[in-house]
Amino acid sequence: MIQGKTKTEATYRALMLDSSSSLKEFSMNRRKYHKKYILSEHVDDEDSKAATIGRVVETLLLEPQEFDGRFYMSTFTTSPTGLMNDFVEALYKHTVAATDDMGNVTRSFEELSRDAYADSGFKIKYEAVLAKFIGSDAEIFYKEIREVRAKKLTVITTEDVTNAEKIVNELQTNLITADIVNLVNSARYTVHNQFQIEGYSVDSYLFKSMLDKVVIDHNEKRIWIYDLKCTWSVENFLEEYYLYRRAYIQAYLYYEAVKSLTVDSESELSGYWVECPRFIVCDSTNYYSPLVYTTGFIDLRDAYEGFEYKGRKYPGVKQIIADLKWALENDVWNISRENYINNGIVNLRG
């Protein structure tokens, strides 16, 4: 087993192992997983504003030296908003799809912009939208993201950075989170930011994980796992994020990743107790106080076995891994394992 930190995030990303993110992707969108991880095709991830702010906060708080390698500061204070932002993003998406290996755009701007107009949801006429776009800051922003995203950088504005810096300051000074995020190495504690564990096994399937913060208490021989989340709804994290974005998959795999270090007799952490993961949840608008959400062994059991909440069923890690193994072994991606076994006959009410 490979343990510990790799040199860079890029090295970690290049390692051909599944992670909690890819497993979640498979559970929610097999087609996207197939294109991205099997066919190695480019797939644009449609990050929300909150997710982007979260990445900036995470970088400034945990790895400030990596900022320039991940983000590009736009020439604008703010990015396009509302439907114009939707139009710009759709135009970018269609432009990328129409760009060949030599970098040539194979469709006319009118074709691309009409498709973007249809996607954006504007109610005013196409000609009116185009008149607002041509020669505006939105057009310049579109050209900017075309150039920068090709370099694998995320375009952000000075407003984004200012907001992220305020959130970082809140995390560092708030009584709820300060003791956690400000903790540094000492005789008692070893603190790892973006701790990478590679090659651990769950149900005979190998994974990698990159954990935001791992705190090792050598006096009590206990290990604490923290993951930072930035959301629009801090006080409704359970339904709006943990369940909706299936972060329970992440919690389970992170626990198993760290536990793998403690059961290895050759590891310096052999015999240490691993606490259930905790989520540090901050507000992407920096209005609500950050909170720390704890998980327990019942939550980890549910994450593995699958569970039901308010009438909705959530697949467990056990089932998802089995489904992924089956898809890989049979190279079948357009139908679930269950529906394939049942010859495509599905009971309407489950």
Question: Mean pLDDT of residues grouped by 10 in the chain (350 residues)?
Answer: 53 79 95 92 70 93 94 82 92 92 91 95 94 93 88 88 96 98 96 95 97 97 97 94 97 98 91 98 96 98 97 97 97 95 88
Segment 80-84 long-range contacts (CB within 8 Å, at least 24 positions apart): 80/137, 80/138, 80/141, 83/120, 83/121, 83/122, 84/120, 84/129, 84/132, 84/133, 84/138
Gap between the Cα atoms of 94 and 100, Å rounded: 12
One-letter amino acid of 247: A
Q: Give the helix ranges, DSSP H, for 222-287.
A: 237, 247-262
Predicted local confidence at residue 150, as pLDDT: 83
Predicted local confidence at residue 8, as pLDDT: 63
Gap between the Cα atoms of 4 and 13, Å rounded: 15
Phi, psi of 133 (to 5 degrees): -80, -50
Strand-pairing partners, residue 309, are 312
CB 62 within 8 A of CB 172: no
103: left (phi over 0), alpha (psi -120 to 50) or beta: left
Cβ neighbours, 10 Å, residue 348: 4
Predicted local confidence at residue 267, as pLDDT: 87
Q: How many Cα neighbours within 13 Å face the side chain of 322? A: 10
Domain ranges of the chain: 71-152, 170-337
Please name the residue that has the structure tokens 């003791």.
179
Gap between the Cα atoms of 260 and 266, Å rounded: 11
Predicted local confidence at residue 149, as pLDDT: 84
Gap between the Cα atoms of 62 and 43, Å rounded: 27
DSSP code for 276:
P
Of the CATH numbers 3.20.20.80, 3.90.320.10, 3.40.50.720, 3.40.1580.10, which one belongs to the domain with range 170-337? 3.90.320.10
Predicted local confidence at residue 319, as pLDDT: 97
The pTM of this model reads 0.83
Select from 98, 77, 84 the least CA-distant residue to 146. Answer: 98
Predicted local confidence at residue 114, as pLDDT: 96
Predicted local confidence at residue 157, as pLDDT: 87
